């Protein structure tokens, strides 16, 4: 089971992060008319945004760790591993949305922030990253075994040639030709 | 005597959605039909959570694109006739830009 999920942040630290964001928002509202303080706040907000730009890389490393385990046959429970990774994505999106709220509060004071649009792209990128990782994730369940045995008993399973022909969207004969061609290509 | 290998229709559909090249599709086919069928007791790995059963997994770097790595895992069950392996479900991951 991979460890070190998203910065290794336990729930308490996430709450601390959220508190920091809430304080930041409050400070922005209180100092909206003080130009010197606004400049300092701009740097703080930019600091949050810079941290957020690291999040996709952190998630990528976690996904890579899971794939490395998968390659080594080291995943003992695909359900639990997937769930743990999903929690990381959920935590990341929670943080990113919190920073987005902070950015909106900052912008509502009439200030501008060149990095604001890029942050929205980071959020969308993380959502896409999660979608792509879990699109074909093995979600194995006990009922799949029972379903397989039942399908087999009822003659509903496909012979392997037929199954791959269907997967390719061609006839079984064309599949055989394709397999022959690929095998020849490998041996040439 | 190799086992006969059959797939649930949902597995064929899943494979069709992986977007594999002909090379990789044939590779998966060969691994299931020849390698797994010939020696399932060596290649199958026992899992107990969240189901009690067997999986067959392998990964490989795409020979046509060395920056792409493929990860496959299949949930497999022996039929009651003990001559057939049923592929119950399949999972797939791809890593690009090693």
Verify that A54 and A23 share a domain, yes or no.
yes
A136 contacts chain B (CB < 8 A): yes
pLDDT score for A6: 43
Interface contact B73-A148, CB threshold 8 A: no
Verify that A88 and A24 share a domain, yes or no.
yes
Verify that A76 and A157 share a domain, yes or no.
no
Q: Last residue of some domain: A124, A143, A162?
A: A143
Per-residue pLDDT of chain A (188 residues; tens, 9 = 90+): 333 334 444 455 556 666 777 777 777 777 766 777 777 888 888 888 988 999 999 999 999 999 999 999 999 999 999 999 999 999 999 999 999 998 998 888 888 888 888 999 999 999 999 999 999 999 999 999 999 999 999 999 999 999 999 999 999 999 999 999 999 998 88
Q: Where do the H-state alpha helices sit in chain A?
A: 11-30, 35-71, 78-107, 116-134, 142-153, 160-168, 172-187
Verify that A87 and A174 share a domain, yes or no.
no
The whole-angstrom separation of Cα B41 and Cα B10 is 24
CA-based nearest residue to A22, from A48, A52, A46:
A48
Tens digit of each residue's pLDDT (9 = 90 or more) over A28-56: 777 766 777 777 888 888 888 988 999 99
Name every chain A residue with its beta carbon within 8 A of the beta carbon of B80: 149, 153
Verify that A168 and A138 share a domain, yes or no.
no
Tokens of B69: 């790595």
Indicate the number of domains in chain A: 2
Most confidently predicted of A11-15, B41-45, B47-51: B41-45
Verify that A149 and A120 share a domain, yes or no.
no
For residue B86, the domain's CATH number is: 3.30.2310.20
Verify that A153 and A136 share a domain, yes or no.
no
- Pick from A137, A153, A166: CB nearest B12: A166
Upstream peptide bond of B50 is cis (omega within 30 degrees of 0): yes
Verify that A154 and A139 share a domain, yes or no.
no
Indicate the number of domains in chain B: 1
pLDDT score for B84: 97
Verify that A22 and A94 share a domain, yes or no.
yes
pLDDT score for A36: 75
Q: Is residue A27 part of a domain?
A: yes
Answer for the pair B51, B15: CB distance below 8 angstroms, yes or no: no
DSSP lists the bridge partners of residue B47 as: B53
Interface contact B50-A140, CB threshold 8 A: yes
The whole-angstrom separation of Cα A108 and Cα A57 is 30
Q: Is residue A1 part of a domain?
A: no
A141 contacts chain B (CB < 8 A): yes
pLDDT score for B83: 95
- Residues 6 or more apart whose CB falls under 8 angstroms from that of B30 comprise none
Answer for the pair A119, A149: CB distance below 8 angstroms, yes or no: no
Verify that A73 and A158 share a domain, yes or no.
no
Interface contact A148-B47, CB threshold 8 A: no
- Identify the domain containing residue B17 by its residue range: 4-96
What was the ipTM of the complex prediction?
Answer: 0.95
Which residues 77-96 on chain A approach chain B with CB closer than 8 angstroms? 77-80
Residue B37 host element (H or E): helix B37-38
Residue B40 host element (H or E): helix B40-43
CB burial string A142-158: b at 16+ within 10 A, e below: eebbebbbebbeeeebb
Give the residue carrying structure tokens 């055989």.
A176
Verify that A87 and A170 share a domain, yes or no.
no
Q: Given pLDDT bands bounded at 50, 70 and 90, which one contains residue B19?
A: very high
pLDDT score for A14: 57
- Identify the domain containing residue A173 by its residue range: 145-187
Verify that A61 and A138 share a domain, yes or no.
yes
């Amino acid at each position: 089971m991979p460890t070190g999920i998203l910065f290794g942040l336990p729930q308490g630290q996430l709450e601390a992060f959220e508190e920091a964001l809430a304080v930041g928002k409050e400070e922005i509202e209180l100092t909206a008319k003080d130009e010197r303080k606004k400049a300092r706040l701009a740097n703080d907000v930019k600091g949050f945004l810079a941290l957020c730009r690291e999040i996709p890389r952190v998630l990528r490393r976690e996904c890579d760790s899971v794939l490395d385990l998968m390659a080594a046959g080291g995943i003992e429970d695909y359900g639990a591993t997937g769930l743990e990774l999903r929690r990381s994505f959920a935590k990341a999106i929670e943080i990113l949305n919190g920073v987005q709220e902070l950015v909106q509060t900052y912008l509502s004071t009439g200030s501008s922030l060149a990095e604001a649009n890029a942050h929205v792209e980071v959020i969308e990128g993380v959502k896409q990253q999660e979608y792509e990782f879990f699109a074909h994730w093995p979600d194995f369940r006990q009922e799949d075994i029972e379903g397989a045995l039942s399908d087999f008993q009822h003659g509903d399973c496909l012979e392997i040639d037929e199954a791959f022909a269907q997967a390719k969207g061609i006839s079984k004969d064309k599949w055989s030709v394709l397999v022959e061609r690929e095998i020849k290509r490998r041996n040439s | 005597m190799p086992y006969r290998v059959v797939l649930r229709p949902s597995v064929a559909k899943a494979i069709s959605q992986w977007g594999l090249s002909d090379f990789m599709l044939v590779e998966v086919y060969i691994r299931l039909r020849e390698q797994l069928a010939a020696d399932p007791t060596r290649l199958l790995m026992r899992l107990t959570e969240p189901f009690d059963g067997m999986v067959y997994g392998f990964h490989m770097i795409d020979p046509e694109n060395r920056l792409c790595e493929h990860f496959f895992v299949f949930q497999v069950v022996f039929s009651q006739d003990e001559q057939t392996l049923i592929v119950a479900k399949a999972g797939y991951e791809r890593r690009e830009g090693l």
